Amino acid sequence: MEAIKQTVAQNIGIGGAHTLVPEDQQFDLNQTPNLKGKVAVVTGGSEGIGYGCTHTLLAHGIEKLFILSVSQEVVDSSLKAIEEEMGPETAKKVTWLQCDLSDWKKTKETADKIASSTDRIDILINNAGRGIMTYQVTDYGVDRHMAMNHMAHVILTSHLLPILKKTASTGSTVRIVNMASNAHQSTPSDCKFESLEELNQDLGPNGQYGRSKLAAILYSRYLNRHLTSSHPNILANATHPGFVDTKMSKEDIHEPYPLGGYAMSVGMAPIKKNIMQGCVSTVFAATKTEKSGQYICPPAVPESGSSLAQDEQLGDNLMKLTRELVKEKTFEDSAAKGCPFTDY
C-alpha cells in the first residue's frame, strides 16, 4: 500500500496526491523560503516545468533571474504573464538569453554572459532538454538527447563554477538541480558510457530519453562526490517531476509516435500534473533541501533510482566521456584557447 501511495504522489496530478507520503517528505510551493537577494539561472525557464520554477522563484522574492531558452515568442508570452500577475518590477528581474543547448559554443558564451552580469548565483536549475523523441545527432555528430540534456548542462555548469564557488564562499548555500526522470529506468542494462559509438546507437525514443535522464542523476552524484566534498555549501541533486502536462507530453510525443502518442497526449490528460505541481520537487531541491547527491521525487522524496543510477564507476565513465567528446568537438574554441576542462 505504501508503494502505491508513493507512486501516486510522485507521478499523478490528482488533488492531495502529494500528501500521501510521510510528513517529513512533503513539500508545498507555499513553503518556498524568502529568496530576497538571491540570483537564479534556469534553462528552459520560459515554459513547462521550467516556467513553474521561474514563476515560483519570482513569487518568493528572487533578486535576479536568468532564463535560457530558444524561442523569443515563448519568453515574451511568459514575461507578459509575469508582468500581469506580479507587476512590471518583478518582470524586470528577468534576463532572457537565447541559447540552443545543441550549440555547445553558444552555451559556453551564454555562461560567460551570465558570469559577467552578476556577482553571485545561488540557484542553477538545469531543466531544458529534448523529450521522448526519435534518435538524431547534432552538428557535432553526437546523440542529440545526450548532447542537449546532459553535455550542454555540464558545459554551462562548469563555466559557472567559479561564481558558484564564490557565492558559496560567503557562507551562502548554493543549489544545483539537474532535471531527471523515472524514465531513466528505460536505459538498457548494458549501458557503459565508454565511447561515442555507444552513445550514437539508436535505442528508440524511450531509451534515448531515459539514458539522458540517467546521466542527470549520475552527474548530480558525481558533483556530490567531487564538488560538495570540497565545497560543502554547494549542493547538487537530481529530480523527477512526475507525469506533467507540458509541450513534451502533448505535442512532442507525436514525433516518435504519430498515433500512439494520443494515449499520452489525450488519454492520460485527466491524471497529468499541471506545471505548478510538476515543479514541486525541483523547487524543493533548488531552495529548501540541505542534502546533496540525492534523486528527489515529488514532493520531496529521496529515492535510490535504478542500479545504474547508483553505479559510481558508471558516473565516472560518463564524465570522462563527456570531457573527451566536448574537448574533441570544440577544440578550436576551447582547449586551443586554454580552457582547463574542469568539471568540479
CA dihedral over 119, 44, 109, 321, signed as positive or negative: positive
C-alpha–C-alpha distance, residues 339 and 111, integer Å:
14
**What cell was used for 315?**
558516473
User: 38, 93, 108, 213: which is the annotated catalytic residue?
Assistant: 213
Neighbouring residues of 259: CB distance < 8 A, sequence distance ≥ 6: none
Does residue 209 have an active-site annotation? yes
pTM greater than 0.85 (yes/no) = yes
pLDDT digits (tens, 9 = 90+) for 128-179: 999 999 999 999 999 999 999 999 999 999 999 999 999 999 999 999 999 9
CA dist 253 → 66, 127, 179, 214, 249 (Å) = 28, 18, 18, 20, 6
User: 140, 209, 222, 344: which is the annotated catalytic residue?
Assistant: 209
Neighbouring residues of 185: CB distance < 8 A, sequence distance ≥ 6: 210, 305, 306
For residue 15, the model assigns a pLDDT of: 72
For residue 262, the model assigns a pLDDT of: 83
Neighbouring residues of 149: CB distance < 8 A, sequence distance ≥ 6: 129, 130, 209, 212, 213, 215, 216
For residue 257, the model assigns a pLDDT of: 86
Does residue 51 have an active-site annotation? no
pLDDT digits (tens, 9 = 90+) for 20-62: 899 999 999 999 999 999 999 999 999 999 999 999 999 999 9
Does 5 score more than 60 pLDDT? Answer: no
For residue 19, the model assigns a pLDDT of: 85
Position 17 confidence tier, pLDDT thresholds 50, 70, 90: confident
- Strand order of the β-sheet with 39-43 is 94-98, 64-69, 39-43, 123-126, 174-179, 234-239, 295-297, 301-303
Q: When comparing pLDDT for 339 and 165, which is higher?
A: 165
C-alpha–C-alpha distance, residues 136 and 157, integer Å:
24
pLDDT digits (tens, 9 = 90+) for 78-117: 999 999 999 999 999 999 999 999 999 999 999 999 999 9
C-alpha–C-alpha distance, residues 110 and 131, integer Å:
23
Cα 120 to the center of its chain, rounded Å: 20
Strand segments (E) across 2-158: 39-43, 64-69, 94-98, 123-126
Kindly state the average pLDDT of the residues 288-309.
98
